[in-house]
Structure 1
Amino acid sequence: MASTLATNQDDQLAVRGKPKLGFLILLVFAVASANGAQLSNAILTLSLKSSVISSTAATTVLSIAVGVGSIFALVGYPLLGRLSDRTLSRFGRRKPYLLAGAVLLLAGAAATLAASSVTALAAGYALTTLGAVCALVACTALVPDQVAPEFRGPASAMLGLGAPLGAVLGIFLAQLVQPNLAAMLFLPAGVAALALLLLAARISDRAISREERPSFSLAEFAGTFWVNPLRHQGFGWAWISRLLIFFGVAAVNAYQAFYLIMVHHMDPATVGTAILVASLITTPISMIFAPLFGKLSDKTGRRKPFVLGAAVVFAIGLGLVAMATTYPMFLIAIAVVGLGQGVYFAVDYALIMEVLPDQDNPAKDLGIMNLASSLPSSLVPAVAPMLLLIGASAENPQNFTALFLAGAACAVIGALAILPIKKVK
């Protein structure tokens, strides 16, 4: 048994090298398309479906559906991460979750389309969320599984770019077929399913033996949803930082469609095109700067300055969004947001992977860390109605300025939260 374990460890170290270009391309396609299926739903199609269910209370319907979906993400990321680390499938630890993600994203699209009530809509979005969680749990774990620490900058950029690139991809596909809601739901989900199947077919995902399988007890099950921030202070500070920064991301993503319709008087039937234009500004900027700063971070061996600077730029962009009085001003502001996102996403995951408590079984801890980016999607809809009512009037029934400024403030505080991390420069 000892010789078997040694061989398995040698095999594992052998794949932890410099990532090949093909791996990076398939990885970013899978992450982007999975994010695209969920984000096109959260940003666009869920808002449109909410308006169909209740034209007078669409924002409330949206908040409930997104909130329920986020609860599934809250439980799903660490739990599915733990299960992935312990999976004994002959196909490996990550492939089964790529396949499950493909199936659940398609099921979520079908359930959302058929929904005729708030409860049914929330169930549909929950399925979509679980599909994205399965896909992203597997994709994020593939990086520490297969990439050596000194080469994780570009791979981290690919993971980080998944959200903004996914928003562009998902919204682009959805608006191509607007106003056909069925096609707007199924086209992004179908592309995501294809990307996940391609990644599953092409990667080498080493199966673990029963001897290597992480132990599992009642106490360890409780630990699925918890990492002691006193024992692992770097992980704790990174988690808090990410949570606060993604408050700003969630504020823009969840309410962008309503903002453009109510403030800039966009036609609900074509608001997807307006969102696509904004995404086509932010995403290329992010795609240009993320790989550059990812490589620069690897060369310098430093992560903190990049995360700190990026979060501050991102907060400035949100402040400009809050002050935009015209759509062109909004586009300029969103370009600044894209610059901040590009640098942040370049090194965010690389920093996180250096503070993981268990480097050999990363999916569970990465699942907990992913909660820091998904939890704001639940918390923002809970507090957004109060912020939107600040100073509300007949002429200005929704105060989006207050919402975006609150997100900017959270991003600044989140940037400062990485300073106490001692393990990372």
Structure 2
Amino acid sequence: MAAEPIPAPPVTAPQAAVPEGAAQLTADRPALQRGFLPLLAVGAIGGAVALMTPALLTASLKANAIDPADGTTVLSVVTGAQGLFTLLAFPVLGRLSDRTRSALGRRRPYLLLGAAAILAGAVLMVLADSTALLTLAGLVTTLGTGAVVMAVTSVVADQLPPDRRGPASAIVSLSTGLGALVGLGIGQLVHTSLTAQILLPAAVGAVGVLAMALTLREAPSTGAEREPLDLRAAFGTFWVNPLRHPDFGLAWTSRLLVFCGVGALNAYQVFYLLMGLHVDGAAIAASVLATVLVVNAVSLVLAPLAGKLSDRIGRRKPFVGVSAAVLALGLVLVTRVDSFGEYLLATAVVAVGQGIYFAVDLALVTQVLPDPDNPAKDIGIMNLANNLPTFIVSAAAPALLALGASAENPKNFDALFLCGAAAALVGALLILPIRKVR
């Protein structure tokens, strides 16, 4: 998926004033290394294995093991705490990465941190016998996967010009589904042991992240000057003024709403299959794996094409807006299914929207960053829009699931998924006013 030159001129966000240290880092940046895109894929997929396996399978199974009578509440506490933690962790990791001065560069130390935290979080999850300990395990895992996501995304902005980011954006987007596929595939192979389902995907993910960390060509940052961090700049770690940077604000809000739709399905899919479609508990890992296979089959076809075509024609907004609307349609269809086969078809529609959206949205985001030469802090804020939905959905889910609940239908999954669809549709509309990206 190598990027090709495009006939249209690149569309970039206005250049903010470049700090002296950032300018030096840019000047010292090495030429793009051979095999950068495969290397990016290895690291991104490794992080996604560690992120998505708990999100889709093992956190739910562990929550159910801790409290068989009310596993959904345990899961809501854990995912809600993770969502709150991202409010602090993601922007701070980004700010620290931009300011890191080391012989290893600005991003590599955070790949190493991520691999270590991923392994530690998996061990804690295995040991968890209470909601509190499972929450701690989730927070440590979030720290690790957050460091990896920040580093991987920032490397794209560091090393590629705006008009060549489509394929790299597609790789990062596909890594989520491929990581889920790898993690769930491992989980299916060892489905008789929850301990193995937790530890093996974490180990595989950490190895992928380490492979990227050890082979990434990144210029040392020791010689670059670093601006003093005053109190105002410190608080700015957690804030981008949407009035001064309206395109960034619109992109952030759009992504937040679209991820609410995705999160509603991902976080509660296991419970929906068990309680809504009455899938046999012994077959739940295989059923989730089947949905991931469908999503990845669709995404593997559409995402690279969308990323490359978006680069070629120099447009992002039509891809992002339409795909978010298609994702919303898929969530509506999920509420109309009566069998697992129909559910797979509905998730295929979700996958069409999700695959194209994630393939192009990252490229759009990197073009509206307030300070392109120090991207990690603002990418950290943007990544809050990926992860805050975890908290939002977990906070809203108990009330939505309880609407009209009865003995025959103890959880109202339709209400949850329809609210997710509405959020994704509003997210699609918010792409339209963005002005600095076509």
Q: TM-score range by the shorter chain?
A: over 0.9
CA distance in 1, matches of 2:410, 2:73: 14
Correspondence for 2:221 among 208, 216, 228: 208
Task: Please state how far the C-alpha of 1:4 moved relative to its aligned partner.
Answer: 10
CA distance in 2, matches of 1:174, 1:248: 25
Task: Please state how far the C-alpha of 1:408 moved relative to its aligned partner.
Answer: 0.6
CA distance in 2, matches of 1:371, 1:216: 22
Correspondence for 1:298 among 311, 315, 319: 311
Distance 1:9 1:239, change over 3 A: closer
* 1:141 pairs with 2:158: no
- How big is each residue's C-alpha offset from its partner over 1:314-337, in whole Å with a ceiling of 9 and x where there is no partner? 111111111111110000000111
CA distance in 2, matches of 1:104, 1:359: 28
* 1:44 pairs with 2:57: yes
CA distance in 2, matches of 1:359, 1:269: 49
Amino acid at match of 2:65: V
Amino acid at match of 2:109: P
* 1:406 pairs with 2:419: yes
Amino acid at match of 2:298: I
Distance 1:155 1:411, change over 3 A: same
Task: Please state how far the C-alpha of 1:211 moved relative to its aligned partner.
Answer: 4.2
Q: Which moved more, 1:373-382 or 1:34-43?
A: 34-43
* 1:126 pairs with 2:139: yes
Q: Is the 8 A contact 1:85 1:213 kept in 2?
A: no
Correspondence for 1:197 among 210, 222, 231: 210
Task: Please state how far the C-alpha of 1:267 moved relative to its aligned partner.
Answer: 2.4
Amino acid at match of 2:315: R
Q: Is the 8 A contact 1:178 1:270 kept in 2?
A: no
Correspondence for 1:332 among 333, 340, 345: 345
Amino acid at match of 2:101: L
CA distance in 1, matches of 2:391, 2:372: 29
CA distance in 1, matches of 2:235, 2:223: 22
* 1:397 pairs with 2:414: no
Correspondence for 2:241 among 228, 232, 235: 228
CA distance in 2, matches of 1:261, 1:8: 52
Task: Please state how far the C-alpha of 1:206 moved relative to its aligned partner.
Answer: 1.4
**If the length of structure 2 is used for normalisation, what is the TM-score?**
0.93
Partner of 1:11: 28
CA distance in 2, matches of 1:352, 1:132: 20
Partner of 1:254: 267
Distance 1:131 1:377, change over 3 A: same
Q: Is the 8 A contact 1:261 1:267 kept in 2?
A: yes
CA distance in 2, matches of 1:239, 1:370: 9
* 1:75 pairs with 2:92: no
Partner of 1:218: 231
Q: Is the 8 A contact 2:254 2:431 kept in 1?
A: yes
CA distance in 2, matches of 1:103, 1:7: 30
Q: Is the 8 A contact 1:173 1:184 kept in 2?
A: yes
Q: Is the 8 A contact 2:325 2:353 kept in 1?
A: yes
Q: Alignment RMSD, CA only? A: 1.7
Q: Is the 8 A contact 1:179 1:269 kept in 2?
A: no
Amino acid at match of 2:321: L
Distance 1:214 1:359, change over 3 A: farther
Q: Is the 8 A contact 2:21 2:226 kept in 1?
A: no
Distance 1:241 1:4, change over 3 A: closer
Distance 1:214 1:167, change over 3 A: farther
Partner of 2:168: 155
- How big is each residue's C-alpha offset from its partner over 1:294-328, in whole Å with a ceiling of 9 and x where there is no partner? 11101111100000110011111111111111110
Percent identity over paired residues: 50
* 1:370 pairs with 2:387: no
Task: Please state how far the C-alpha of 1:214 moved relative to its aligned partner.
Answer: 4.0
Task: Please state how far the C-alpha of 1:179 moved relative to its aligned partner.
Answer: 2.4
Q: Which moved more, 1:161-170 or 1:398-407?
A: 161-170
Distance 1:4 1:408, change over 3 A: closer
Unaligned runs of 5+ in 2: 1-19
CA distance in 2, matches of 1:379, 1:329: 28
- 2:237 counterpart SS class: helix
Partner of 1:266: 279
- How big is each residue's C-alpha offset from its partner over 1:231-282, in whole Å with a ceiling of 9 and x where there is no partner? 0000000000000000011001100000000012122233111000011001
* 1:183 pairs with 2:209: no
- 1:226 counterpart SS class: coil
Task: Please state how far the C-alpha of 1:210 moved relative to its aligned partner.
Answer: 5.4
Q: Is the 8 A contact 1:390 1:402 kept in 2?
A: yes
Task: Please state how far the C-alpha of 1:291 moved relative to its aligned partner.
Answer: 0.8
Distance 1:150 1:61, change over 3 A: same
CA distance in 2, matches of 1:227, 1:52: 41
* 1:56 pairs with 2:69: yes
CA distance in 2, matches of 1:115, 1:7: 46
CA distance in 1, matches of 2:375, 2:116: 24
Amino acid at match of 2:365: I
Q: Which moved more, 1:93-102 or 1:211-220?
A: 211-220
Task: Please state how far the C-alpha of 1:7 moved relative to its aligned partner.
Answer: 6.8
Q: Is the 8 A contact 1:141 1:362 kept in 2?
A: yes
Distance 1:262 1:219, change over 3 A: same
Partner of 1:420: 433
Task: Please state how far the C-alpha of 1:345 moved relative to its aligned partner.
Answer: 1.3
CA distance in 2, matches of 1:224, 1:7: 21
- How big is each residue's C-alpha offset from its partner over 1:49-88, in whole Å with a ceiling of 9 and x where there is no partner? 1111111111100100111122222211110000000111
Correspondence for 1:116 among 129, 132, 153: 129
Q: Which runs of 4+ in 1 moved over 6 A?
A: 3-7
Distance 1:269 1:291, change over 3 A: same
Amino acid at match of 2:423: C
Higher-RCO chain (CA-CA 8 Å, sequence separation at least 6): 2
Q: Is the 8 A contact 2:167 2:307 kept in 1?
A: yes
CA distance in 2, matches of 1:336, 1:264: 19
Q: Is the 8 A contact 1:33 1:169 kept in 2?
A: no
Unaligned runs of 5+ in 1: none
Q: Is the 8 A contact 2:22 2:373 kept in 1?
A: no
Distance 1:4 1:127, change over 3 A: closer
Task: Please state how far the C-alpha of 1:9 moved relative to its aligned partner.
Answer: 4.0
